[in-house]
Amino acid sequence: ATHAKAIPLVHVSTDYVFDGSSSGAYTPDAPIGPTSVYGASKAAGEMAVRTANPRHAIVRTAWVVSPHRGNFVKTMLRLAGERETLAVVDDQRGCPTSAADLAAGLAQIALRLAEDPEAPTGTFHYVNAGVTTWHGFARAIVAGNARRGGREIPVSGIPTSAYPTPARRPANSELSTQSLTAAYGFMPRPWSEALDDILDRLVGPAHRQT
Residues that bind ligand NAP (CB under 6 A): 12, 14, 42, 61-64, 69
CA distance 61 to 208: 33
Q: How far is CA 168 from CA 34, 93, 162, 163, in A?
A: 10, 13, 13, 11
Q: Give 37 or 152: the residue with its C-beta nearer to ligand NAP.
A: 37
Residue 45 or 120: which CB sits closer to ligand NAP?
45
Kind and range of the H or E run holding 140? helix 134-147
Q: Is 38 a catalytic residue?
A: yes
Q: Which entry of 38, 126, 163, 184 is annotated as an active-site residue?
A: 38
How many angstroms separate the Cα of 89 from the Cα of each of 40, 97, 101, 104?
A: 24, 18, 25, 30
Question: What is the bridge-based pairing of β-strands 132-133 and 93-94?
Answer: antiparallel
Distance between first and last Cα of the chain: 59
Q: What is the β-pairing status of strands 155-158 and 86-89?
A: parallel
Least gap, CB of 145 to ligand NAP (angstroms): 20
Smallest separation (angstroms) from ligand NAP to the CB of 152? 26
DSSP state of 133: E
DSSP one-letter code for 185: -
Q: How far is the CB of 151 from ligand NAP (least distance, A)?
A: 26
By beta-carbon distance, which residue lies closest to ligand NAP? Answer: 64
Nearer to ligand NAP, 116 or 163 (CB): 163
- Shorter beta-carbon distance to ligand NAP: residue 25 or 150: 25
Least distance between ligand NAP and beta carbon 42 (Å):
6
Active-site positions read: 38
